[in-house]
Amino acid sequence: MNVGVIGTGHVGLVTCASLAAFGHRVVGTDQDAEKIASLRSGRLPFHEPGLNGLTRDGVVAGRLSYTCDPEAAIESAEAVFISVGTPPRASGEANLVAVESAARTVARHARGPCVVIEKSTVPTGTARHLRRTLERERADRATRLEVVSNPEFLREGKAVGDALRPDRILVGAESEWGFETMRRLYAPLLAQGTPMIETNIATAELAKHACNAFLALKVSFANALSRLCERAGADVVSVVDVMGADPRIGRGHLDAGLGYGGSCFTKDLLAFDRLSSLLGYDFALLREIGKLNREATLTAFEKVREALWNLEDKRIAVLGLAFKPGTDDVRFSPGLELASMLLEAGAEVAGYDPEAATNAKAEVPDLLISPSPYDALAGAHCVVVSTEWDVIRNLDWATARDLMSYPVVVDGRNVVDPCVMAELGFAYLPMGRPAIL
Ligand code: UGA
């Protein structure tokens, strides 16, 4: 099939590359000329394992190209994905200006029947507006344009695997033509047994928000439990292992720590809450999830302050600045948020991250960036483990102790072995587990 993809950010680019791998001819378009130029020269604008190879394969096979000219991406497309940004407005509501603009573009340039696919995460009800925009802006009255919702479930850092081997494909459509178009697009995945859940459009839109809200709820539940475990002398890791052994609960997203980051959970919770109130339902639980998340980062800050007393004239190493391993994304990163709080309190903060250092420095200019974890640790009075990259998990703690001024570890991700800490004489402060003082 000929496919257009509007918006070549994280989701858009993974969509382009995976559809090309499924055998379609894909044209990705973006209004950011610099980004398109960089993609054309083979450079991705962000770090995503495996994506470089997948996009290159698509380009070499002649199935993937990029253009700034939306007409070229749309005129002969049977399906166009809208994967533009939906940032939060001050009220928390998703800003859908770019989605509307993409719909106008499709309406003006489509030359034949075309299914317009919502890939960006949008609030329930968006399809209704999209349909009306397509109707109003259509260049040719006879052209059949139809809206389909096909939310993504891509995790940053694992997006390629998630796109090529998804747990499920979710499609909300209003006609057999819409469903059939999506079955053709995802034919190789259906052939390998991936289930396609077919619903009405409102259900698909709402299900995406429900998934992210529930995953965030699990993380916040684990973090609330860890506050309780600290007070009771229990170990949150064992508690969530027990919970996760029950298949009705599942072990995923129950790791306590500094809290969740990234744009998706934070933005989607705000948008979901706002949508709920617009629909006349007070979904108060959603606000509690965000509150518990802020509390998790604050708890880690208090652990550092308690361990070091005054923070002025103290050097603190923050290991991990990306919001999670496998990405250079620092949006709402709890590690970076903690680094800012420590700087604000007067500490010197040396940050290390294998991929996200440049983005972190741009966000928090006062942060000192270290080329290796050991450089960050030199002279430090405390180290915070904030992102569980392998290089940080596998740190040589004997060397770390020799480099540090005080042997104090705040383990914001519960990935350091407490026995090693005890053996080496560290003060060890994990999240929701017994501390070694
Ligand atoms: C999330 C969802 O997992 C995807 O399914 C969804 O498609 C995506 O949002 C989206 O809407 O685009 P992502 O934000 O990439 O994906 O990251 P997750 O792996 O879900 O992690 C989010 C945050 O939660 C990270 O900061 C991570 O460190 C934290 N987390 C995760 C925990 O603190 N504990 C856990 O047990 C799991």
pLDDT tens digit sequence for 289-305 = 999 999 999 999 999 99
Cβ atoms < 10 Å from Cβ of 136: 10
Instruction: State yes or no: pLDDT of 91 exceeds 90.
Output: no
Contact (CB, 8 A) for 69 and 38: no
DSSP 154: P
Q: Distance (Å, rounded) from C-alpha 242 to C-alpha 228?
A: 16
Cβ–ligand 1 contact at 265 (below 6 Å): yes
pLDDT tens for 15-48 read 999 999 999 999 999 999 999 999 999 999 999 9
Residue 93 banded pLDDT, cuts 50, 70, 90: confident
Residue 139 banded pLDDT, cuts 50, 70, 90: confident
Q: Whose CA is nearest to atom 3 of ligand 1?
A: 155
Atom number of ligand 1 nearest to Cα 252: 36
Q: Is 114 known to be catalytic?
A: no
Instruction: State yes or no: pLDDT of 141 exceeds 90.
Output: no
Give, in order, the Cα–Cα distances in Å from 120 to each of 1, 5, 191, 265.
21, 11, 25, 14
pLDDT tens for 236-283 read 999 999 999 999 999 999 999 999 999 899 999 999 999 999 999 999
Q: Distance (Å, rounded) from C-alpha 290 to C-alpha 195?
A: 32
Please report, rounded to a whole number, the percentage of residues in the chain having pLDDT higher than 70: 100
Give me the pLDDT at residue 274, please: 93
Atom number of ligand 1 nearest to Cα 255: 36
Cβ–ligand 1 contact at 337 (below 6 Å): no
Cβ–ligand 1 contact at 254 (below 6 Å): yes
By most ligand atoms within 8 Å of CB, the mutation choice from 83, 119, 155, 162 for ligand 1 is 155
CA of 146 to the centre of ligand 1 (A): 31
Cβ–ligand 1 contact at 262 (below 6 Å): yes
Residue 92 banded pLDDT, cuts 50, 70, 90: confident
The region, left, alpha or beta by phi > 0 then psi within -120 to 50, assigned to residue 33 is alpha
Q: Which residues pair with 170 in a beta bridge?
A: 197
